[in-house]
């Protein structure tokens, strides 16, 4: 066996206990709450609310490795495991994130097959990948006993975000990459990359359809953002299963709106102020 993946294979194991992976395999959907703040109380409570996983946002928030590790510790034994989106698809980033004990890694801007290979190899040990073996912290918080390396290889979810127009020309090779589990469409960034500035358009719909077709052809699970129950149901009927929900701050805003608007209290637009 070589140091590369054999086409279409995950590392062989019957130790598939990860509930997110099991739901996806059964054709069900999973929805994760996006965590952007380092408040551990928030993460621990969020893990009890019914979400299938927590999406620790390390690309667009101040979350650090230290706060990520604290999040893993605070949610240990709770229903929703921690996944993390890294700032970029690099081997060393995947290694540092996984060594905190997360059960899934989300890689942004995977626009080439080379980036997809890095994502897959960064999340698996040799001979299937290139992950380093220093996982002392992860071992202490891993949900099951036994051989951590085999268990992590079998259960860690690898999510590649496709969100650039340039990825459309490479989508077949990206979707065909062994070891990648989910092709997640970053709809907003894809719209910006197509020159639409975040707007919906036939051009965006065509791009999404192309990504969806490639992912299905190569047996990958599909993901995208979803901000409401109606969206989850609609997108699930279209073949999507892996959903990023709103942030904890977004849920706070929704809760405040539901409470205050019936009382005639509405959120006021903020004025732009400059402080010196």
Share of the chain above pLDDT 90, in %: 89
99 to each of 47, 87, 142, 208, how far by Cα in Å? Answer: 20, 16, 10, 33
Do residues 148 and 135 lie in contact, with contact meaning Cβ atoms separated by under 8 Å? yes
- Rounded Cα–Cα distance for residues 208 and 206 (Å): 5
Do residues 95 and 131 lie in contact, with contact meaning Cβ atoms separated by under 8 Å? yes
- Rounded Cα–Cα distance for residues 15 and 159 (Å): 20
Which pLDDT tens digit goes with each residue over 71-113? 999 999 999 999 999 999 999 999 999 999 999 999 999 999 9
CATH code at 19-158+224-253: 3.20.20.60
- Strand-pairing partners, residue 31, are 243
11 confidence band (pLDDT: 50, 70, 90): low
Phi, psi of 129 (to 5 degrees): -150, -155
Which pLDDT tens digit goes with each residue over 201-225? 999 999 999 999 999 999 999 999 9
Counting Cα atoms < 13 Å in the Cβ hemisphere of 229 gives: 1
The answer for residues whose C-beta is within 8 angstroms of residue 145's C-beta and 6 or more apart is none
Instruction: List the domain boundaries for the chain.
Output: 19-158+224-253
Which pLDDT tens digit goes with each residue over 240-269? 999 999 999 999 999 999 999 999 999 876
- Rounded Cα–Cα distance for residues 56 and 248 (Å): 11
């Amino acid at each position: 066996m070589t140091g590369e993946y054999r086409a279409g294979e995950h590392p062989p194991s019957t130790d598939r206990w990860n509930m997110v992976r099991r739901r996806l395999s059964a054709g069900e959907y999973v929805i994760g709450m996006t965590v952007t703040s380092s408040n551990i109380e928030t993460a621990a409570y969020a893990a009890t609310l019914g979400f299938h996983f927590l999406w620790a946002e390390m690309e667009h928030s101040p979350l650090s490795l230290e706060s990520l590790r604290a999040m893993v510790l605070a949610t240990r034994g709770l229903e929703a495991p921690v996944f993390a989106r890294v700032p970029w698809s690099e081997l060393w980033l995947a290694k540092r994130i996984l060594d905190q004990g997360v059960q899934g890694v989300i890689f942004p801007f995977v626009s080439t097959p080379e980036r997809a290979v890095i994502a897959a190899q960064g999340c698996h040990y040799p001979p299937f990948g290139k992950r380093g073996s220093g996982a002392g912290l992860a071992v202490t918080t891993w949900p099951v006993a036994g051989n951590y390396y085999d268990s992590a290889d079998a259960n860690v979810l690898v999510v590649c975000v496709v969100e650039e127009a340039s990825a459309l020309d490479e989508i077949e090779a990206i979707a065909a990459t062994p070891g990648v589990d989910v092709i997640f469409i970053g709809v907003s960034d894809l719209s910006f990359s197509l020159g639409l500035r975040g707007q919906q358009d036939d051009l965006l719909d065509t791009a999404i359809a192309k990504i969806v077709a490639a992912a299905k052809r190569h047996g990958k699970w599909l993901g995208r953002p979803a901000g409401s129950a109606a969206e989850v149901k609609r997108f699930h009927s279209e073949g999507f299963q892996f959903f990023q929900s709103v942030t904890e701050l977004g849920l706070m805003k929704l809760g405040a709106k539901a409470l205050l608007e019936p009382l005639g209290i509405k959120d006021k637009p903020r004025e732009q102020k400059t402080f010196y």
